[in-house]
Structure 1
Amino acid sequence: MARSSEAISPTAHYTGYAWFHHGMSHEALVTPQGRLLFNALRPLSKLAQVRGRPTAEGFLLARHRAMDGLLEQAISEGRVTQVIEVAAGFSPRGWDFKRRHGSRLRYVEADLPHMAERKLQRLERAGLLLPGHRVQALDALADSGPMSLSALADRLDPAQGTAIITEGLLNYFDRESVRGMWRRFAAVLSRFPQGLYLSDLHLARENRTESQRAFARMLSAFVRGRLHLHFSDSEEAIAELRAAGFDTAGIHDPRQLPQVGRTQPGAELVRVVEARTGP
């Protein structure tokens, strides 16, 4: 599999720098490509904000803060002591949560081999990889084999509450692929006393205005491919999560969460999934 920087999507570079720019990440997770992309798009982002339109920067921050808040709550309540972040990219979440929770939390960052190798090298060089924090290769579409989620979960403690988190992943895949991922996630989490799944999700009904559709077209061009809107509304998404094997499921509007608030431009475009297995 390709291992060059060109194999990593523009959004991985961009988001890595966006998080750093807003004080949420470490410089070790910043790439020159990310800095260049962020600064090149900043004037357009500021113009959109002045006109009251959604911005990529805004919805990225909204989803990240919302998911961080829900994960922090689960850890603080003792429901989760192990986290698997699928398609982690240059996300600072593993470093940030291990820094805050130390030995109380085991954190696994997983991604395709070239991205996992790049992330591991950066964390090791900067001395950011603490005990109980590892990075490994994973294929989120694999049902079995050494790169499957099931094989990764075999190395975790089966007696501990576990979370799976995906950010910026689902909308690259078609509906059937997402259904398959959700079935795999639910099956793996059911092996633990309590399971939590967190993810961002874009719903068709929440992206209907002309400015929202224009923003979606811009994002599609940016990521060099179609962005899929799999479900019409929260009710349809929740039904699919339950059908995949989750015991309970809910869809959050980030603007209703205290970590985000209503003033974040672009927050209205994204929803956050919170699904659970176990009691």
Structure 2
Amino acid sequence: MLTGGSDRISPTAHYTGYVWVRNGLSHPALATGTGRLLYNALAPANAASARLGQPHLEHYLLARHEVIDHLLTAAIEHRHVSQVIEVAAGLSGRGLRFTRRFGDALTYIEADLPAMAERKRRMLGDTGERHPKHRVEDVDAMLDSGPGSLADLAATLDPAKGLAIITEGLVNYFDLTSVRAMWTRFATVLGGFPTGVYLSDIHLGSDNQSTVNKTAVAALSAFVRGRVHLHFTGPAETESALHEAGFGHATLRRPAEFAGTLPRCAGRSAQAVRVIEAAR
């Protein structure tokens, strides 16, 4: 994940990349030494949280990741999506896993700022299993048009096939004005395809009112060295903003909805996040 319009690789990108590898959701080549150090540094606090039945950072990350995976799989298998752009993919292994699973039937593009994109290309090369239809491109999600914009990248795709746009661990690090503008760009791009799906995690004010969750948000802000924005009080307000951005359908899903099939979505840690499922 990249935040604040900077090319630097954030602590959360290192940390989450290591979490995915530890839990079998990524290739070992996508783990970094910094990620391992951060993981080990936070392990005692996470263990204490688990013992006390409080939200656990790793469990929360796994819940949101698996729900997005689940919804993306459904979009590919049932909604004719065969192209994916993951904006600010960071060190996620999702592109590897999905191209491994769907092969030539899927085009998967990871879109990141230049420094992150270049590093990810090198790391994917080290895996030895990158699919020809899996690539990494330089994109600034804050640009409306022109070289390096999402619109420019989308113009290289097949307009006769469905497209999904994914953001994970991104939205709450931008202010409300930036998020609204970004969602409008996404809706506009998706409008150029027969099927357009947007999937993202988001934190809401209504889900983070407890002292424990407020403390967790404050800790996350310190961890990423920036503010975590809780833009909306609840699902209705969020869905309304997505409609205003140009999405015809928008639903906020609770990870707990999927606990029967996705065990990592059970428990208190998953309650702090929702997953946006929107369609153009």
Which secondary structure state, in structure 1, belongs to the residue aligned with residue 275 of structure 2?
A: strand
Distance of 1:195 and 1:7 partners within structure 2? 30
1:273 — aligned with what?
276
Taking only the aligned residue pairs, the percentage that are identical comes to 53
Letter in 2 for 1:213: K
CA shift, 1:56, in A, is: 1.1
The answer to whether the 8 A contact 1:63-1:272 is kept is yes
Letter in 2 for 1:268: Q
Alignment deviations for residues 209-256 of structure 1 (CA, whole Å, 9 cap, x no partner): 000100111100000011000000000000000000001010000111
1:97 — aligned with what?
98
CA shift, 1:259, in A, is: 2.1
The answer to whether the 8 A contact 2:248-2:279 is kept is yes
The answer to whether the 8 A contact 1:202-1:271 is kept is yes
Distance of 1:158 and 1:270 partners within structure 2? 33
CA shift, 1:120, in A, is: 0.4
Alignment of 1:103-182 (within 5 A): 103-182=104-183
Letter in 2 for 1:155: T
Go from structure 1 to structure 2 and tell me whether the alpha carbon gap of 1:276 and 1:128 turns closer, same or farther (over 3 Å shift): same
Structure 2 alignment gaps of length 5 or more: 1-6
Distance of 1:128 and 1:268 partners within structure 2? 35
The answer to whether the 8 A contact 2:201-2:275 is kept is yes
TM-score by length of 1: 0.95
Distance of 2:53 and 2:159 partners within structure 1? 48
Distance of 1:256 and 1:205 partners within structure 2? 18
Go from structure 1 to structure 2 and tell me whether the alpha carbon gap of 1:20 and 1:108 turns closer, same or farther (over 3 Å shift): same
Distance of 1:99 and 1:175 partners within structure 2? 36
1:215 — aligned with what?
216
The answer to whether the 8 A contact 2:198-2:276 is kept is yes
Letter in 2 for 1:157: D
CA shift, 1:137, in A, is: 0.5
1:225 — aligned with what?
226
Over aligned residue pairs, what C-alpha RMSD do you find?
A: 1.1
- The farther-off stretch of 155-164 and 264-273 is 264-273
CA shift, 1:265, in A, is: 4.1
4+ residue segments displaced more than 4 Å:
none
- The farther-off stretch of 257-266 and 9-18 is 257-266
CA shift, 1:261, in A, is: 5.6
How many pairs are equivalent?
272
Go from structure 1 to structure 2 and tell me whether the alpha carbon gap of 1:243 and 1:260 turns closer, same or farther (over 3 Å shift): farther
Distance of 1:118 and 1:259 partners within structure 2? 31
CA shift, 1:126, in A, is: 2.2
Alignment of 1:1-279 (within 5 A): 7-257=8-258, 258-260=261-263, 263-277=266-280
2:4 — aligned with what?
none
CA shift, 1:260, in A, is: 4.5
CA shift, 1:57, in A, is: 0.6
Distance of 1:263 and 1:132 partners within structure 2? 34
Go from structure 1 to structure 2 and tell me whether the alpha carbon gap of 1:59 and 1:137 turns closer, same or farther (over 3 Å shift): same
Letter in 2 for 1:160: K
The answer to whether the 8 A contact 2:79-2:195 is kept is no
The answer to whether the 8 A contact 2:168-2:200 is kept is yes
Which secondary structure state, in structure 2, belongs to the residue aligned with residue 81 of structure 1?
A: strand
Letter in 2 for 1:11: T
Go from structure 1 to structure 2 and tell me whether the alpha carbon gap of 1:224 and 1:110 turns closer, same or farther (over 3 Å shift): same
Letter in 2 for 1:152: L
CA shift, 1:263, in A, is: 2.9
Which secondary structure state, in structure 2, belongs to the residue aligned with residue 35 of structure 1?
A: helix
CA shift, 1:79, in A, is: 2.1
The answer to whether the 8 A contact 1:10-1:223 is kept is yes
Distance of 1:78 and 1:28 partners within structure 2? 32
Distance of 1:260 and 1:171 partners within structure 2? 25
TM-score by length of 2: 0.95
